[in-house]
Chains A and B, each alone.
Chain A
Amino acid sequence: MTDLDELYQSVIIDHDRSPRNFRELSGDGCQEAEGYNPLCGDRFRVMLKVEDGVVSDVSFTGAGCAISKASASLMTETLRGRTVEEANRLFDAFHRGVTEPDDDSTASLPNKLKVFRGVAAFPMRVKCATLAWHAMKKALQTSQGV
């Protein structure tokens, strides 16, 4: 598999074409944050609800490249039902996964997030892969402040 084959795996193309949890979320306890990359114009809004320390629902809207959109989509699939602490740990593991994919600590990444390890061969695209994750982390911080 070439670097490019690994970057644009079918699961990434699938989530770009048919993003999951691509919808508005509103109502009581909804926390949200925006991720915006002024260099490329990609912009996503991540919305989530935390109940008893657990992410009970999470969604996103916005537009961006295949990497950023698929990353947002797979992130929402992974996060539902996880504790806030687990979500923050996943953020760190995902970030390492797209920058140092051979690091042992990335072994704990859920398989569906390991598809992004190919991003490491394209340093210019790391920001695409982590855009929604940064927004998620920001949204979690706002919820903790409540």
Chain B
Amino acid sequence: MPAGGTLAPSDAVITPLDEIRVRADFPILERSIRGKRLAYLDSAASAQKPMTVIESMREYYAEHHSNVHRGVHLLSEEATTAFEGARDTARRFLNASLAEEIIFTSGTTAGVNLVAQSWGRSNLGPGDEVVVTTFEHHSNLVPWQVATQQAGASLRVVPLDSHGALDLGEYERLLGPRTRLVAVSHASNVLGTVAPIAEMTAMAHQVGALVFVDGAQAAPHFPIDLQALDCDFYALSGHKLYGPTGIGVLYGRAELLSQMTPWQTGGGMIQRVEFEGSTWAPPPARFEAGTPPIAEAVGFAAAMDYLSRIGFQAISDHEQTLLTYLTEQLETVPGITIFGTAPGKIGVVSFGLDGVHPHDVATVVDTHGVAVRAGHHCAQPLMRHLGVSATLRASLGLYNTRADVDQLVVALGDARRRLGA
């Protein structure tokens, strides 16, 4: 770049993430916690919201709100345009081919239950198998447990290697003519492991099985290209993606959705209703019974736009650099064990401190302004696999800095001293 010159905007140019500017976008980061600076290291549970998301919802309610797909009046038209605009934002964000493949749900859990019940009801039978993995969150495990039990089908579980990566050799052996569906998290909420979805999908499709991906943890960290992944269903949550709670997306391949029956029924999802029976609207309306979360869709779209403006390359570079620093710093704490060391993991680090319970540590570090999660992280089978009842977890978002990591490490030292570790 010539001295004094300016660089023209170009897709090929990656602007590194500007920590100060990004942090200023998130008003909650200004809060003090028990008199201390907030070090928010719990984005894997729920990410904080940039002002643009908060403002988009305020503006929607203050100026445009009505119900969607109902009235002929201007406000209803504006609300419908905003809601359907959000659907198209999600389609672009996930690189799905059709907006009709994007169903708005209340979150990832609702997406899993929708497919497990709707698709499962007509496609699972006695002797069939659904493959899950050892690191599934309860939300991508229990719905499949229930669906297979209802159908007389069974669950098969992909084991992990010592780093917390999926054992793909064993996965291949589990796949067979009885496999109807593979349900897998794109990224583990405990270990940070990223599953090779494209590869696993190709293997599943070879035996005629479908693939359902829980993308709740992956979507905030790297771009999701549904056409490249080629999976059949993909679910995610708005609130983990810097958007509002109460909204999520379920992507389903158009030809599958068109054959599926509704999960919930009511207003907005029908074509014709008579006392003797009803017919269903085409997707996505078929799967969106009742008044949808309109303001949440607007806020969710604002969050996706925000992330696209910053760019996932910048986000990923920032988080990966910080993940390395976090891991190095944690390793300096005596008595620490880190769970999950698979290459290419996301910025989620679960750990334990010898001889002290995670909840006590979490309480001590909270008084230092540090928010981390302690518990089983809705992954009890994985905890048993790791041989612990609970872990601590620090998870990174795009607004975290070295200062957050340093604050955590100081707090952990205090926890060890107080708790006698």
Contacts and interface: CB of A to CB of B under 8 A. Distances in A.
Chains A and B form a bound pair: yes
A13 B360 CA distance: 11
B367 A3 contact: yes
A107 interface: no
A5 B380 CA distance: 32
B419 A63 contact: no
Interface of A: 2-4, 7-8, 13, 16-17, 39-43, 63-67, 122, 124-125, 128
The 3 tightest CB contacts between A and B, nearest first, are: A65-B357, A41-B389, A65-B359
A40 B390 CA distance: 7
B364 to A, nearest CB: 6
Given A3-B367, A8-B364, A40 B359 contact: yes
A41 B383 contact: yes
A66 B389 contact: no
Contacts of B358: 65
Interface residues of B, number: 18
Contacts of B356: 66
Interface string B260-296: 0000000000000000000000000000000000000
Contact of B419 (A2, A13, A41): A13
B402 interface: no
Given A40-B374, A40-B390, 19 more contacts: A2-B367, A3-B367, A4-B363, A4-B364, A8-B419, A16-B420, A17-B420, A40-B359, A40-B375, A40-B376, A41-B376, A41-B383, A43-B389, A63-B389, A65-B360, A66-B357, A66-B419, A67-B360, A128-B359
B418 interface: yes
B375 A39 contact: yes
A122 B389 contact: no
Contact of B418 (A8, A40, A67): A8
Contacts of B390: 40-41
A8 B383 contact: no
Contacts of A42: 359, 389
B375 A66 contact: no
